[in-house]
């Protein structure tokens, strides 16, 4: 299953949803069973769920303390009920930050698709499960759908910031989450694919410029913003918006744009905000 065109064709021919196309391929490729696949999905999702809540109340210890406590701070603000984004999105933001803070604290996370973008998919799925009271099985189907879409990206492009910039990490995570959210809210497979493409479109060209070379700033903030990108993209698709560029072309374009980025903007901490005087001062304070 190395292209969207292929899985969409199989889904249409067999009259089955895309998550089941992906499931059938998993069963065939690895000689496993549906029960075993969903057991693994449940295990992974539980790791995601715990990470998305872990830093809500107490700061976690991170290198240099760059993002220690950002989750608890965001949650206190959200609990005050004064946010511009409203209750639901604020909860998504908090969970995305928690995943990032847990990762920076060397906590247990699930790379989805990478450690640097680990907060995005969980923030969207966990908040939908808790706030919309969606049953676990359906959440796992959405996670399977998102994983299958992510696998196509890794087959044909990259999810590494060192290769494609942050668009390849947080951007792909947002696209995966957008597809999953669309499915969970009753969208069609076509809508899920469009949500995926729109999310990638929204983040095209985003550079990877970590301060002091650490996966903290701006990674945590981008986990939060790209979780919101996922929701915006899902709503656009659910409302009927389509992307004129096919998902396979969008993945190819993302990879092409990533290759055009200079090395300074691909996780080397030599360009972007990582090269500012303020960032260099932080780096010196941490590493000497």
- At residue 45, the pLDDT reads 98
For the cut 80, the answer to whether the pLDDT of residue 229 exceeds it is yes
Q: Is the whole-model pTM more than 0.75?
A: yes
Split into its structural domains, the chain has a count of 1
CATH code for the domain in which residue 169 is found: 1.10.4100
Q: In which domain, by residue range, is 112 found?
A: 4-287
Average pLDDT, the chain: 97
**Tens digit of each residue's pLDDT (9 = 90 or more) over 44-56:** 999 999 999 999 9
Q: What is the mean pLDDT of residues 235-255?
A: 98
- At residue 288, the pLDDT reads 84
For the cut 90, the answer to whether the pLDDT of residue 266 exceeds it is yes
Q: Residues 141, 22: contact at Cβ < 8 Å?
A: no
**Tens digit of each residue's pLDDT (9 = 90 or more) over 146-199:** 999 999 999 999 999 999 999 999 999 999 999 999 999 999 999 999 999 999
- At residue 81, the pLDDT reads 95
- At residue 178, the pLDDT reads 99
For the cut 90, the answer to whether the pLDDT of residue 88 exceeds it is yes
pLDDT band with cut points at 50, 70 and 90 for residue 1? confident
Half-sphere exposure of residue 106, counting CA atoms within 13 Å on the CB side?
A: 4
* Residue 128 CB partners (closer than 8 Å, separation 6+): 134, 139, 181, 184, 185
Let me know if 58 is exposed, middle or buried by CB neighbors in 10 A (0-12, 13-18, 19+).
exposed
**Tens digit of each residue's pLDDT (9 = 90 or more) over 112-141:** 999 999 999 999 999 999 999 999 999 999
């Amino acid at each position: 299953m190395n292209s969207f065109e292929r899985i969409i064709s199989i889904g249409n021919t067999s009259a089955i949803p895309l998550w089941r196309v992906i499931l059938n391929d998993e069963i065939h490729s690895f000689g496993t069973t549906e029960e075993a696949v969903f057991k693994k999905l449940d295990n992974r999702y539980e790791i995601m769920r715990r990470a998305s809540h872990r830093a809500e109340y107490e700061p976690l210890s991170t290198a240099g303390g760059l993002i220690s406590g950002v989750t608890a701070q965001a949650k206190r603000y959200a609990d005050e009920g004064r946010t511009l984004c409203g209750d639901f999105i604020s909860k998504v933001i908090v969970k995305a930050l928690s995943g990032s803070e847990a990762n920076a604290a060397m906590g247990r996370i699930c790379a989805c698709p990478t450690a640097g973008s680990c907060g995005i998919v969980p923030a969207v799925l966990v908040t939908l499960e808790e706030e919309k009271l969606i049953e676990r099985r359906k959440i796992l189907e959405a996670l399977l759908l998102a994983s299958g879409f992510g696998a196509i990206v890794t087959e044909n492009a990259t999810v590494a910031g060192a290769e494609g910039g942050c668009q390849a990490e947080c951007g792909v995570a947002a696209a995966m989450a957008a597809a999953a959210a669309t499915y969970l809210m009753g969208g069609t497979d076509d809508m899920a694919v469009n949500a995926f493409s729109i999310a990638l479109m929204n983040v095209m060209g985003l550079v990877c410029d970590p301060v002091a070379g650490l996966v903290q700033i701006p990674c945590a903030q981008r986990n939060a913003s790209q979780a919101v990108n996922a929701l915006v993209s899902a709503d656009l698709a659910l409302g009927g918006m389509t992307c004129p560029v096919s998902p396979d072309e969008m993945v190819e374009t993302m990879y092409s744009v990533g290759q055009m980025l200079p090395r300074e903007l691909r996780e080397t901490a030599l360009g972007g905000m990582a090269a500012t005087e303020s960032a260099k001062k932080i780096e010196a304070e941490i590493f000497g």
